[in-house]
Structure 1
Amino acid sequence: MNIFSVLHCEFRKIIRANVFWLVFLVFAFGPIMMGVGTISSGNTGDINWQMYLTELLSGLAALGLIGYTFISAWVFGREFTDKTIKDLLAKPVSRSQIVISKLLVILAWDLLLALFMFAVALAAGGVLGVTGWSTVLIGDIFFRFILTSILFIVVTTPGTFLANVSKGYLAPLGLILVIVIFSNVLASMGFAPYFPWTIPSVFQSTGFLNVSSIIILAFTGIAGIVGTFAWWRFAEQQ
C-alpha cells in the first residue's frame, strides 16, 4: 500500500463526512455577515470594491484561522474520538505516510475553504451593490488574501500536534480561543509582528513581513509538523 492509496483513502473519508460540508455551510455566514456589516457602516455608494474587500478580508482571514485549526484538529483527532486509530495503524503503511497524507488533506481542505470564503465575499458584495469593480484590483487582493490564508495555515500546525497529544480535537479549539484573546491584546501593545498568530494579519494589512516575523512564523510551523511526526513515530498508541 503506497502513499497515494493512503491519500486517496483520506480524501474519501473527509468528503464522505458530514463535517466536511458543515464547515463550508458555517463559514459561509462569516463573509455574508461581515459584508453586510461593512456596507451598513456607511453609504453603499461611498464603498467601492477596494474599501469593501480590504476591510472585509482583514477580519475574514483571522476568522479562517479558527476554521483551519478546527480542520487540522478534526482530521487527526477524529481517529481517536471515533476509535479508528488502531484500524488505521493496522494498515500496511508507515506512520510517516499516514501523517503526510493527513497533512496534504488538511492543506487541500484549508485552501478550498479560503477560496470558498473569498467567493462568498465577492458574491455578497455583488448582491449588496458594491461599485468600482476592477479585475486587476480583485486579483491583487485575492493574491494577498490567499498568501495570508497560507500563513494562517502554517501556524495551525501546533494545534495539529496538540490534537494528537490530547487524542481529540477539543483541546486545540480551546487553545485557539485563548490565542485569539492574546492576539488582540498583543496587537494593541505593538507586538503583532512577533506573535505567530498575529503575523499573518500584519501581512494582510501591509503586504510585507520583516525577517524576524518570517523566522518566527517558519519556526512555529516547522515545530508543529516535527512534533506531529515525532509523536506518531515514538508515542505509544493506545
Structure 2
Amino acid sequence: MSLIAPEVITAVAVEGRKAASSPVLLTTGVLLVAGVGVLAGVMTAAARGGNEQIRAQLAGLGDADPWPQLIGGASQITAAAGFLAFGVALSWLIGREFTDRTVAGLFALPISRTHIALGKLAVFAGATFPVALLLTAVVFLVGLVSGLGAPDPAAWNGLARLFILTVLTGFLVWPAAWVATLGRGLLPGIAATVVLIVIAQVFAVMGTGAWFPIVAPALWAVAPEQVSARQLTLVALVPALSAALTVRAWSRLQLDR
C-alpha cells in the first residue's frame, strides 16, 4: 500500500510533464549553474591576482587559500542569485495557470486543486536537487580547471555545504508560491522574491542574519561556526508554513476571484 495518495502521485506526474514540456525551469537552472560557475571563477582569479575590491567582497576570505575563496565566492553568489532564480522559477510554476488563463480548466479535473498544488511543489522540490548537484559539480570543475589542485578535506566539506545551501535556497523561496497564488500570477511571486532578498540583506548588514531563516544557510555555508544547529532548524519553518498556506489558498480558489 502506498503511503502517498494516488491523487498526489497523479498530480506530480501531470505537473512534471507540464514542467518538462516548457523550457522555463531548464533554462533557469542552466543559467544559474553557469552563472555561478563563471562568476565564482572570475572572482577567485581576481582575488588571487590582488584585486582589492574583489578581496573585500569575499567577506574575510580574501586571504584564504584558493579553494575556500572559490567555494566562499560561489556560496555568496548562490545565496543571492540562486534565491532570485529559484523564486522566478517557482513563481512561474505556480502562476502560469493564472497568466495563461488555464486555471478555470483545473476546476473540471478529477484531481482536487489541493493535490495539484502539492504536485507543483513536489515537482519543484524534486528539481532543486539536480540543480544543486550540478552547480556543486561545476564549481568543483572550475577549481580544477583553474589549477587549484585536488581539494583537501576542508574544501570537500565546503563543497558539501554549497550543495546543501543550494537545496535550502530552493526551499526557502516557497513563500513566492503563496504570494503568486494570492496575486494570481507570476509577477507577485517574483516581487515577493525580490522583497525577501532585500530583507535578507538588511538582516545580514545588521549582524542578526543567523536568526533569520533566509540568511542563516548562506552564513553557515561560508562560516559554519557562526550559525548554531538551533538557528538552522528554523529554516524548515519557511517551506513548511509556505506549503501549508499555498495548499490552503489553492483549495479555496474561486473562478470569480
Secondary structure class of the residue paired with 1:104: helix
Measured in 1, the distance between the counterparts of 2:159 and 2:48 equals 23
Measured in 2, the distance between the counterparts of 1:18 and 1:211 equals 38
The one-character-per-residue Cα deviations of 1:157-214 (angstroms, maximum 9, x if unpaired) are 2111001111111122222223222322321211202223212212212336436634
Q: Does 1:90 align with 2:108?
A: yes
Measured in 2, the distance between the counterparts of 1:190 and 1:33 equals 26
Secondary structure class of the residue paired with 1:41: helix
Measured in 1, the distance between the counterparts of 2:255 and 2:224 equals 43
The 3 A distance-change label for structure 1 pair 139 and 128 is: closer
Measured in 2, the distance between the counterparts of 1:214 and 1:132 equals 30
- TM-score, L = length of structure 1: 0.87
Residue identity (%): 22
The 3 A distance-change label for structure 1 pair 139 and 237 is: farther
Q: Assess if the C-alpha contact under 8 Å between 1:48 and 1:133 holds in 2.
A: no
- Is 29-38 or 160-169 further displaced after alignment? 29-38
Partner of 1:112: 130
Larger RCO (CA under 8 A, 6+ residues apart) = 1
Partner of 2:240: 222
Q: Does 1:16 align with 2:31?
A: no
Secondary structure class of the residue paired with 1:2: helix
- TM-score, L = length of structure 2: 0.81
Q: Assess if the C-alpha contact under 8 Å between 2:44 and 2:69 holds in 1.
A: no
Partner of 2:40: 34
Measured in 1, the distance between the counterparts of 2:230 and 2:139 equals 32
Q: Assess if the C-alpha contact under 8 Å between 2:75 and 2:165 holds in 1.
A: no
User: How far does residue 103 in structure 1 lie from its aligned partner after superposition?
Assistant: 0.9
Measured in 2, the distance between the counterparts of 1:110 and 1:237 equals 31
Give the paired residue count.
Answer: 236
- Equivalent positions of 1:197-212 (< 5 A) are 197-207=214-224, 209-210=227-228
- Among 136, 144, 151, the residue aligned to 1:133: 151
- Among 152, 156, 159, the residue aligned to 2:169: 152
The 3 A distance-change label for structure 1 pair 223 and 237 is: farther
Q: Which amino acid aligns with 2:163?
A: I
Measured in 1, the distance between the counterparts of 2:20 and 2:217 equals 28
Partner of 1:3: 8
Q: Assess if the C-alpha contact under 8 Å between 1:78 and 1:169 holds in 2.
A: yes
Measured in 2, the distance between the counterparts of 1:5 and 1:221 equals 22
Structure 1 stretches lacking a partner, 5+ long: none
User: How far does residue 106 in structure 1 lie from its aligned partner after superposition?
Assistant: 0.6
User: How far does residue 107 in structure 1 lie from its aligned partner after superposition?
Assistant: 0.5
User: How far does residue 116 in structure 1 lie from its aligned partner after superposition?
Assistant: 2.1
Q: Which amino acid aligns with 2:72?
A: T
The one-character-per-residue Cα deviations of 1:37-62 (angstroms, maximum 9, x if unpaired) are 22122149x95333322332232233
Measured in 1, the distance between the counterparts of 2:134 and 2:13 equals 22
The 3 A distance-change label for structure 1 pair 33 and 19 is: same
Measured in 2, the distance between the counterparts of 1:164 and 1:204 equals 31
The 3 A distance-change label for structure 1 pair 212 and 2 is: closer
Measured in 2, the distance between the counterparts of 1:184 and 1:190 equals 10
The 3 A distance-change label for structure 1 pair 123 and 193 is: same
Measured in 2, the distance between the counterparts of 1:148 and 1:25 equals 17
The 3 A distance-change label for structure 1 pair 29 and 87 is: same
Q: Assess if the C-alpha contact under 8 Å between 1:161 and 1:224 holds in 2.
A: yes
Structure 2 stretches lacking a partner, 5+ long: 1-5, 51-63
